[in-house]
Amino acid sequence: MLGLSLGKLLLLVLLVAIVWYGFKYMSRVEAVRRAVREELQRRKAAQRPPRLQAEDLVKCATCGAYVAAQSASACERADCPWGRGK
């Protein structure tokens, strides 16, 4: 009968099972590696400081210093143009 004995069939079933579970194990290992890699990337992204918004600067006509256009505050000089109206 085709030269297959019970021992050869059992060995064939055993080899197929080893290969099958080997592939399943490797896919689990890869899934864990992917999850760890994503977690590390998420933690690195959380550790980065938030980006600051850029703000335009304007030159003070009196002293020549550059100050922020939107949030400028008065300096110690009496003739400071940024202190007016505040």
Q: Residues 26-39: pLDDT tens digits?
A: 999 999 999 999 99
Query: Among 16-20, 21-25, 54-58, which is the least confidently predicted range?
Result: 54-58
For CA atoms 45, 46, 49, 53, give the dihedral sign: positive
Query: Is 9 a domain residue?
Result: yes
Q: Taking the CB of residue 67, how many other CB atoms lie within 10 A of it?
A: 19
86 is a domain residue: no
What is the tens place of the pLDDT at every residue in 53-73? 888 888 877 777 787 777 666
pLDDT at 72: 63
In 22-49, which positions are buried (b, 16+ CB within 10 angstroms) versus exposed (e)? eeeeeeeeeeeeeeeeeeeeeeeeeeee
The predicted structure's pLDDT at residue 3: 77
* pLDDT score of 78: 73
Number of domains in the chain: 1
71 assigned to some structural domain: no
**Calpha distance 74→60 (Å, rounded):** 11
In the three-class reduction of DSSP (H, G, I as helix; E, B as strand; rest coil), residue 29 is classed as: helix
The pLDDT of 7-34, averaged and rounded, is 96
Residue 70 included in any domain: no
65: in domain: no
Q: Which domain holds residue 45?
A: 1-49
Q: Is 74 part of a structural domain of the chain?
A: no
In a domain, 17, yes or no: yes
